[in-house]
A and B are shown apart, each in its own frame.
Chain A
Amino acid sequence: MPQTLDKKDDFDVVKYFLKLLDDDKDLSSGIAAIKTLLMILEKKQFGTIHILQNTMLEAVAAMRNTDLSIAAVVSGGELFCRFITLSLDDRGMEECREIMLHRGKIFLAKLLNSRNVIAQQAQRFITDGCRVLTHSRSRVVLKALVTAAKANKQFHVFVTQGGPDNSGEQMIADLERAGIDCTLILDSATGYVMESVDFVMVGAEAVVESGGIINRIGSFTMGLCAQEMKKPFYVLAESFKFTRLYPLNQRDLPDEYKYSRKHLSDVSKVHPLVDYTPPAYITLLFTDLGILTPSAVSDELIKLYM
Chain B
Amino acid sequence: MKETIPLPQIQQLIHDIKVGKVDGSFNITTKTLELFKQIITNAKWQHAEDLMQIIRSQGQILQSALPQETVTANVTRRLLKIIREEFDLLQVKDHHLADDSQASLSLHKLVTQTSECDVCVDYGIPRAGLKEALLDHLEEIETELETSCESICAQAEQHIHSTEVILTLGHTRSVEHFLKRAIKKRQSLTIIIAECAPACRGHNLAASLASNNVEIIVIPDSAIFAMMSRVNKVIIGTHSVLANGGLRAACGAYTVALAAKHYSVPVIVLAPMYKLAPVHLCSYEQDAFNSLGCAEGVLPYDSSAARCAKIYSPIFDYVPPELVTLFISNTGGHAPSYVYRLLTELYHPDDYEM
- 16 pairs of residues in contact across A and B, judged by CB atoms under 8 Å: A106-B113, A110-B113, A124-B280, A125-B280, A127-B282, A130-B283, A239-B107, A239-B110, A242-B107, A288-B105, A289-B106, A289-B107, A293-B244, A293-B321, A293-B339, A293-B340
Contact yes or no, B341 A107, CB < 8 A: no
Interface string of A190-232 (1 = CB under 8 A from B): 0000000010000000000000000000000000000000000
Would you call A82 an interface residue if the criterion is a C-beta within 8 Å of the partner chain's C-beta atoms?
Answer: yes
B223 contacts across to A, CB distance below 8 A: none
Q: Is the CB of A284 closer than 8 A to any CB of chain B? A: yes
Determine how close the nearest CB of chain A comes to the CB of B118; give it in whole angstroms.
Answer: 9
- What is the distance, in angstroms, from A154's C-beta to the closest C-beta of chain B? 14
B contacts with A, residue count (CB < 8 A)? 26
A301 to B340, CA, bound (A): 15
In the complex, whether A251 has a CB less than 8 A from a CB of chain B is no
A179 within 8 A of B: no
Check if A300 is an interface residue, CB within 8 A of chain B.
yes
Knowing A86-B112, A291-B243, A293-B340 are in contact, say whether A127-B283 is a contact too (CB < 8 A): yes
Smallest Cβ-Cβ distance to A299: which chain B residue: B341
Contact B107 A304 (CB under 8 A): yes
Chain A nearest CB: distance from B117 CB in Å? 10
Task: Please tell me if B337 contacts chain A, counting CB pairs below 8 Å.
Answer: yes
* Interface contact A107-B283, CB-CB below 8 Å: no
Contact, CB under 8 Å: A284 / B341: no
Bound Cα distance from A110 to B114, whole angstroms = 12
Q: Does B212 contact A (CB under 8 A)?
A: no
Q: Does A170 contact B (CB under 8 A)?
A: no
Asked if B266 is at the interface (CB within 8 A of a chain A CB), the reply is no
Question: A112-162: which residues lie under 8 A (CB-CB) from chain B?
Answer: 124-125, 127, 130
B207 close to chain A: CB less than 8 A: no
User: Chain B's nearest CB lies how many Å from the CB of A262?
Assistant: 34
As a 0/1 sequence over residues 84 to 95 of chain A, the CB contacts with chain B under 8 angstroms (1 = contact) are 001100000000
B245 at the interface (CB under 8 A from A): yes
Closest chain A residue to B112, Cβ basis? A86
**Is B122 an interface position by the 8 A CB rule?**
no
B120 at the interface (CB under 8 A from A): no
- Say whether, besides A103-B114, A106-B115, A291-B280, A300 and B107 are in contact (CB < 8 Å): yes
Q: Is A290 an interface residue (CB 8 A)?
A: yes
Cα distance, A290 to B104, chains bound together (Å): 10
Q: Name the distance in Å between A125's Cβ and chain B's nearest Cβ.
A: 5
Find chain A residues with CB under 8 A from B341 CB: 296, 299
**Chain A, residue nearest B279 (CB):** A124
Residue B19 lies at the interface, judged by CB distance under 8 Å to chain A:
no
Tell me which of B111, B115, B340, B349 contacts A295 (CB under 8 A): B340
Residues of A within 8 A of B104 (CB): 290
The answer to whether A86 and B107 touch across the interface, beta carbons within 8 angstroms, is: no
Q: Assuming the A-B contacts A127-B283, A291-B280, A296-B341, are A304 and B116 also in contact, with contact meaning beta carbons closer than 8 angstroms in the complex?
A: no
**A300 and B106 within 8 A (CB):** yes
Report B-chain residues with C-beta under 8 Å of the C-beta of A299: 341
- Which residue in A87, A106, A290 is a CB contact (below 8 Å) of B105? A290
Judge if B108 is at the interface, Cβ distance under 8 Å: yes
Known contacts A239-B110, A289-B106; can you find 20 more A-B pairs with CB under 8 A? A79-B107, A87-B112, A106-B116, A107-B110, A107-B113, A110-B113, A124-B280, A125-B280, A125-B282, A127-B285, A130-B283, A289-B105, A289-B110, A290-B105, A293-B244, A295-B340, A299-B341, A300-B106, A303-B107, A304-B111
Choose one: B106, B114, B245; the contact of A293 (CB below 8 Å): B245
Please state if A198 and B283 are interface contacts (CB–CB under 8 Å). yes
Instruction: Report the bound CA distance from A130 to B284 in whole Å.
Output: 11
Give the docked Cα–Cα distance between A162 and B109 (Å).
35
The residues of B that contact A242 with a CB separation of less than 8 Å are 107
Q: Does A16 make an interface contact (CB < 8 A)?
A: no
CA A299 to CA B343, docked complex, whole Å = 14
Q: Determine the chain B residues whose CB is within 8 A of the CB of A239 once the complex forms.
A: 107, 110
List which A269-301 residues lie within 8 A (CB) of chain B.
Answer: 283-284, 288-293, 295-296, 299-301
Give the distance to chain A from B41, nearest Cβ to Cβ, in Å: 34
Which residue of chain B has its CB nearest to the CB of A128? B285
Contacts known (A290-B105, A293-B245); A79 close to B111, Cβ less than 8 A: yes
* Min CB–CB distance A24 → chain B (angstroms): 22
B113 to A103, Cβ gap below 8 A? yes
CB-CB contacts below 8 Å: A243-288 with B: 283-284, 288
> How far is it, in angstroms, between the C-alpha of A70 and the C-alpha of B104 when the chains are bound?
30
**Contact among A86, A125, A283, A296 for B111, CB-based, below 8 A:** A86
CB contacts (< 8 Å) of B283 on chain A: these are 125, 127, 130, 198
- 0 or 1 for each of B320-354: is its CB under 8 Å from A? (1 = yes): 01000000000000000111110000000100000
Q: How far is the CB of B210 from chain A (nearest CB, A)?
A: 40
Q: Is there a chain B Cβ closer than 8 Å to A46's Cβ?
A: no
The 6 closest A-B pairs by CB, nearest first: A295-B337, A304-B107, A303-B108, A304-B108, A83-B111, A300-B107
Q: How far is the CB of B241 from chain A (nearest CB, A)?
A: 13
Q: Which residues of B contact A106 (CB under 8 A)?
A: 113-116
Residue of B nearest to A300 (CB): B107
Give A303 to B104 CA distance when docked, in angstroms. Answer: 12
B337 neighbours in A (Cβ, 8 Å): 293, 295
- Chain B, Cβ-Cβ closest to A99: B114
Q: Min CB distance, B67 to chain A, in Å?
A: 15
Instruction: For the complex formed, measure the closest distance between the CB of A228 and the CB atoms of chain B, giving whole angstroms.
Output: 14
Q: Which of B106, B244, B339 contacts A284 (CB 8 A)?
A: B244
> Whose C-beta in chain A lies nearest to the C-beta of B111?
A83
Chain B residues contacting A292 (CB-CB under 8 Å) are 340
The chain B residue with its CB closest to the CB of A291 is B280
Say yes or no: A303-B113 contact (C-beta < 8 A), given A284-B244, A291-B280, A296-B341: no
Output the least CB separation between A245 and chain B (Å). Answer: 15
User: 1/0 per residue B260-281: CB within 8 Å of A?
Assistant: 0000000000000000000010
